[in-house]
Amino acid sequence: MLSELANHRTLTLAAVVAAFLASPIGTWAQTNYAAEAAKNPGAASRPTPHMADGHPDLNGVWHHFFGIGTIQKVGDSFTVGGAFSPKSASLYAKPLGDPKPEYKPELMAKVNSLNANQVKEDSTLHCIPPGVPRLGPPHQIVQTPKQAIFLYADNTGNQWRVIPLDARPHSTDPETAATYNGDSVGHWEADTLVVDVTRLTDETWLGDNGLFHSRKLHVTERLRRVGDTIQYQVTADDPEILQKPWTLSRTLTLQPDALEEAAPCVDKDAGHYVTLEHHNNTR
């Protein structure tokens, strides 16, 4: 038992130290999906609840962005925990195994340049909304027969999307501006909610490290409830810049705690950058 504990301790310590060492060169992105799953063991094997209209019930809090660290009480003092506690670091370090988007070869120089200058070029580092799909899966879903509301307590500020579920077409009004979260319409395909998103501004990126996109970006999200989990899949199709559509998958777990509003985002860093160093972000 003692040796097991010692081994466990050695491994988790090694994970923490490795994470510190790796961070400046950008190989460790922290996530909290596995830690959220650990909060609700056996969630996927529970019965899947349904609404009165027969569709799966997606209501609930499913994810917290950047809840990777906490300050925890230890004796009379407080120390950083969560992703930085030896007890739980391995949960947060679990790799997502995401594929990389495949850009047209002639555009890789632009990706690399944006990546090298990320502290200046990445607008999310300066409190601009990340936009869809970088915003990630919904933190909370409020569902009615006619629409689904996706809520996000993002660290760039609170975000919301109202998604009509009546299979209406996208707006064709040429005056409708492209926005961070775009024009979303939803419909059910059997037990899967499918959300189709267009009219996305090209001010945002698909993800970390310079992954820009064009105004032609078309995003499709698929949400399927399995017990107290949601299988979330998002596909970004941008034929202007990508060789083929790029798809990410996440498993969300129903969370016991409420969604708290995000503190306002105020960029106080921009004037103090001395170098262009950065490391991988959580998205």
Partner 1 sequence: MGVTNRLRWAAVLALSCALPAIAHHSFSAEFDASKTVTLHGTISKVDWVNPHIWVYVDVKDDTGKTTTWALQSLPPLFFRGSGLTKDVLLSSKQEVTVTLNPAKDGADSGFMTKLAYPDGHVFSMSPADADPSLRKTQK
- Determine which residue in the list 44, 107, 127, 128 makes contact with partner 1, applying CB under 8 A: 127
Q: Is there a contact between 83 and 68 (Cβ–Cβ < 8 Å)?
A: yes
User: Cβ of residue 179: shortest distance to partner 1, in angstroms?
Assistant: 21
Provide the 3-class DSSP secondary structure of residue 52: coil
| Residue environment code for 52-68, b if the CB has 16+ CB neighbours within 10 A, otherwise e | eeebbebbbbbbbbbbb
80 binds partner 1 (CB under 8 A): yes
86 binds partner 1 (CB under 8 A): yes
- Name every residue whose Cβ is closer than 8 Å to that of residue 251 and which is 6 or more positions away in sequence: 33, 37, 44, 229, 230, 231, 232
User: Cβ of residue 242: shortest distance to partner 1, in angstroms?
Assistant: 25
Q: Is there a contact between 255 and 36 (Cβ–Cβ < 8 Å)?
A: yes
- Determine which residue in the list 64, 161, 213, 225 makes contact with partner 1, applying CB under 8 A: 64
What single-letter amino acid sits at 84? Answer: F
Q: Which stretch binds partner 1 (CB under 8 A): 19-27, 132-140, 171-179, 223-231?
A: 19-27
210 binds partner 1 (CB under 8 A): no
Binding positions for partner 1, 155-174, rule CB under 8 A: 155-157
Which class for 212: exposed (0-12), middle (13-18), buried (19 or more C-beta within 10 A)? buried
- Name every residue whose Cβ is closer than 8 Å to that of residue 188 and which is 6 or more positions away in sequence: 55, 165, 194
User: Cβ of residue 163: shortest distance to partner 1, in angstroms?
Assistant: 25
Q: Which stretch binds partner 1 (CB under 8 A): 9-17, 134-142, 173-181, 229-237?
A: 9-17
- Determine which residue in the list 1, 4, 73, 172 makes contact with partner 1, applying CB under 8 A: 73
Binding positions for partner 1, 101-120, rule CB under 8 A: 118-119
Q: Which is nearer to partner 1, 120 or 170 (CB)?
A: 120
26 binds partner 1 (CB under 8 A): no
DSSP β-ladder status, 69-74 and 147-154: unpaired
User: Cβ of residue 2: shortest distance to partner 1, in angstroms?
Assistant: 16
What single-letter amino acid sits at 203? Answer: E
Q: Is there a contact between 60 and 137 (Cβ–Cβ < 8 Å)?
A: no
User: Cβ of residue 207: shortest distance to partner 1, in angstroms?
Assistant: 13
Task: Assign residue 259 a region (left: φ > 0; alpha: ψ between -120 and 50; beta: otherwise).
Answer: beta
User: Cβ of residue 115: shortest distance to partner 1, in angstroms?
Assistant: 13
260 binds partner 1 (CB under 8 A): yes
Q: Give the residues lining the site for partner 1 (CB under 8 A).
A: 13, 16-17, 19-21, 23-24, 28, 64, 66-67, 69-73, 76-86, 118-119, 122, 125, 127, 155-157, 260, 262-266, 268-269, 272-279, 281-282
